[in-house]
Amino acid sequence: MPQYERFALVLDSEVSILGQAAMRLLELGVDVLYATNADEAALLADQESHRLGAVLAPTSFDAETFDQVLARVCSRLGAGARSLVVVGAEPDAALLERLRSQGVRWRLFDPYDERDLRFVVAIAMSIDHDGERRKSVRIPTGISTTVFMGRHRKEVVVYDLSAGGAYLATPHPFQEGSRLSVEIPLPNGMVVRGRAQVMSARTEDAATRSHLPEGMGVAFAGLAPDAEAAIQYFVEEWTARFQI
């Protein structure tokens, strides 16, 4: 998979709440810029506004500091307030309401794991999320299922899922171009059945992004409208966990 086209700007607190998150993003292949105060962040936003896609800031900031971040940093980015992700312990309801009224959308409250971090940063970078981009929003899952290529069957784990396709974690994946029959049982009780094509395959010795296990990326083909709608509903329901 390609590198993200945009940087994430981590604006940390004096006690370095987000230092570890910044390092983990780098390990995941996300390019990161790091600032320790609003002045540094504003300077970086001016210099790199064409490449910045997300701004991470700790929930420990007070309302006035967030006002500065939104006015001096996020305003330079194409997505504006939607580029901001607030990270850390859940703040009080008054601050959340203030951020919501200012257009801030994304949050990552403790406790969160690596996949949550990667997902929220990726979706904050997706400035076209409210259009056709919605179909390609991928959420991490752990659904076990079986796929078929003719008479060949393979046990897989749906590592991530969107209305357009999925990444299927499995040893010895099928080759690129293979056509599969898929059946994915969603947690909401809906079972998605349809066809898919292998678009990429990763083996253990392949050079690729570090977070992906061995497996294959597939694109769905000809899903029934109700199946596509069921996936989209599941994606939106899961995504709502990270919305303010």
Q: Say what the pLDDT of residue 40 is.
A: 94
**Domain edges within the chain:** 7-127, 136-242
For 136-242, CATH gives 2.40.10.220
pLDDT digits (tens, 9 = 90+) for 166-222: 999 999 999 999 999 999 999 888 889 999 999 999 887 654 555 678 999 999 997
Residues in the chain: 244
Strands (E), 13-93: 32-35, 52-58, 84-88
Its CATH architecture, for the domain 7-127, is 3-Layer(aba) Sandwich (3.40)
Residue 189: left (phi > 0), alpha (psi -120 to 50), or beta?
left
- Domains 7-127 and 136-242 belong to one CATH topology: no
Q: What is the pTM of this model?
A: 0.79
Q: Quick one: which H or E segment has residue 227?
A: helix 225-239
In 10 A of CB 215, how many CB atoms? 24
Average pLDDT over residues 87-94: 95
pLDDT at 101 over 60: yes
Side chain identity at 177, as an amino acid letter? G
User: For residue 40, what are its two tokens?
Assistant: 């540094």
Side chain identity at 238, as an amino acid letter? W
The set of residues, in sequence order, having a beta carbon less than 8 Å from that of 28 and lying 6+ positions away, is 114, 117, 118, 209, 210, 211
